[in-house]
Amino acid sequence: MSAPLSNARAVGLVASREFVTQVQKKSFLISNAIILVAIVVGIVATSVLSGGDDDRPTVGVVGAPALQTTIESLGETVGTPLEVSDVPDAATAREQVSSGDLDVALVPGDGASVTAITESELDTDVRAVVEAAVVQQAQVAALTDRGVDPAAVAADVSAATVTVDALDPPDPEQGQRIILSIIAVILLYMQILMFGMYVAMGVVEEKSSRVVELLLSTLRPLQLLWGKILGIGAVGLLQLTAYGAVGVGTALATDTLTITGTALGVLAGTLGWFVLGFAFFAVLYAAAGSMVSRQEDVNSTSGPLVMLILAMFFAAFSSVDDPEAGWSTTLSWIPPFSAILMPLRIAAGVATPVQIVGTIVLMVAAIAMLSVIAARIYQRSILRIGRTVTWKEALGR
């Protein structure tokens, strides 16, 4: 008679079977390949399309090199960069504006006057730069005519500066942090819901086909339970890692994301919190699946879990704009809301080390407590075939 399997060996065998079964499915491979390609194409397309916003307005200047230099300098200073070029004469300037080679052409007139030639109207930002440059050139000429050194005046004037001391300076990374927060929330919601349901469907499939009776002749119920959870969870973690690595890698390579450290930190945090969130719900989904004998009945026992996951999703989405809100901060301490709110707070840069460690400890404690309850339900229900086991029967002594 062969020796009974150790707990680790038994759980490992079940987990390995679940993992291999899932990843070898053609539907799993094809769907994930399509999603990964879509992620790369979407990010590259976003990078290419957004890059088109860098086109500079073109300005041609007839015979005034100093004015060209002033326009370029002022444009860069005020945040309206212009592409400035020399045009030989007014006729050529009109021709290039008419053909669309230039957005505006400047033709100096009598004194300090300048005529701006455009197709229809002069862009407000471009006009502001041009007018400021023309005025500056006129001032330089007037000072020179009166024997005053323009450079000395400019040096004196440059000393008059305004220093801004902002009590709450804007975060230049805020836009990218918000995008990362939204993506983390959506991915966690989808992965926890989908792979939690996989656990429930797997349990009820084995129960309805009576395969579980054969498995339990060799394995103990808890070995089968944890093997299934670990195997399916490993598939979910692998899939999420692939999505995150490809997405973050492509975004960084195309400069769609420029906050490398934050992006990698959010990816690591999302993976870690998926493990905790999945573990929390997987034990409950396994218990819900063990209580029914038909896949059509799974929704009757797993419905409350779906509603709880939806509540987590809406709570997280509502706090994207203000992750430091009091209600959001409080809720992030409460399992299982921590699993989706804390990655959001990490992405937003508002989670402290104490909050991160504290919420992890609370989640682990909640998972341990629920595991004991779910294991009791699973053991009492898994071999009751033919009808739905009530919660009273599953939890009864």
pLDDT in the model for residue 1: 42
Q: Are residues 89 and 237 in the same domain?
A: no
In a domain, 162, yes or no: no
In a domain, 24, yes or no: yes
In a domain, 119, yes or no: yes
Give the start-end residues of each E strand in 243-284: none
Distance from C-alpha of 85 to C-alpha of 81, rounded to nearest angstrom? 13
Show which of 107, 133, 157 is a domain's final residue. Answer: 157
In a domain, 1, yes or no: no
Q: Which of 123, 108, 119, 121 is nearest to 68 (CA)?
A: 108
Q: Are residues 353 and 211 in the same domain?
A: yes
Q: What is the DSSP string of 183-232?
A: HHHHHHHHHHHHHHHHHHHHHHHHHHTTHHHHHTTTS-HHHHHHHHHHHH
CB 286 within 8 A of CB 203: yes
CB 59 within 8 A of CB 106: yes
Q: Are residues 88 and 125 in the same domain?
A: yes
Q: Are residues 216 and 363 in the same domain?
A: yes
Distance from C-alpha of 231 to C-alpha of 195, rounded to nearest angstrom? 11
Per-residue pLDDT of the chain (397 residues; tens, 9 = 90+): 455 678 889 899 999 999 999 999 999 999 999 999 999 999 999 888 875 445 688 888 888 788 888 888 888 888 788 888 888 888 888 888 888 888 888 888 777 778 888 887 888 888 888 888 888 887 877 778 777 777 777 677 666 677 777 777 777 788 888 888 889 999 999 999 999 999 999 999 888 888 888 887 888 888 888 999 999 999 999 999 999 999 999 999 998 888 888 889 889 999 999 999 999 999 999 999 999 988 888 888 888 999 999 999 999 989 988 888 999 999 999 999 999 999 999 888 888 999 999 999 999 999 999 988 888 888 888 888 877 887 777 776 5
> Among positive and negative, which fits the CA dihedral 114, 115, 116, 122?
positive
Write out the residue range of the structural domain in which residue 83 sits: 58-157
In a domain, 163, yes or no: no
Q: Are residues 34 and 103 in the same domain?
A: no
Q: Are residues 232 and 257 in the same domain?
A: yes
End-to-end CA distance of the chain: 34
- CATH assignment of the domain containing 126: 3.40.190.10
147: left (phi over 0), alpha (psi -120 to 50) or beta: left
Q: Are residues 339 and 191 in the same domain?
A: yes
Provide the number of structural domains found in the chain: 2
Q: Are residues 94 and 187 in the same domain?
A: no
Q: Which of 229, 230, 235, 261 is nearest to 248 (CA)?
A: 261
Q: Are residues 252 and 343 in the same domain?
A: yes
Q: Give exposure, 231-251, as e/b (b: 16+ Cβ within 10 Å).
A: bbbbbbbebbeebbebbbbbb
Q: Are residues 258 and 110 in the same domain?
A: no
In a domain, 369, yes or no: yes
In a domain, 166, yes or no: no
pLDDT in the model for residue 348: 86
Q: Are residues 135 and 284 in the same domain?
A: no
Distance from C-alpha of 310 to C-alpha of 329, rounded to nearest angstrom? 18
Q: Are residues 318 and 354 in the same domain?
A: yes
Amino acid at 155: A
Show which of 157, 192, 215 is a domain's final residue. Answer: 157
In a domain, 165, yes or no: no
Amino acid at 49: L
pLDDT in the model for residue 4: 66
Q: pTM (2 decimals)? A: 0.75
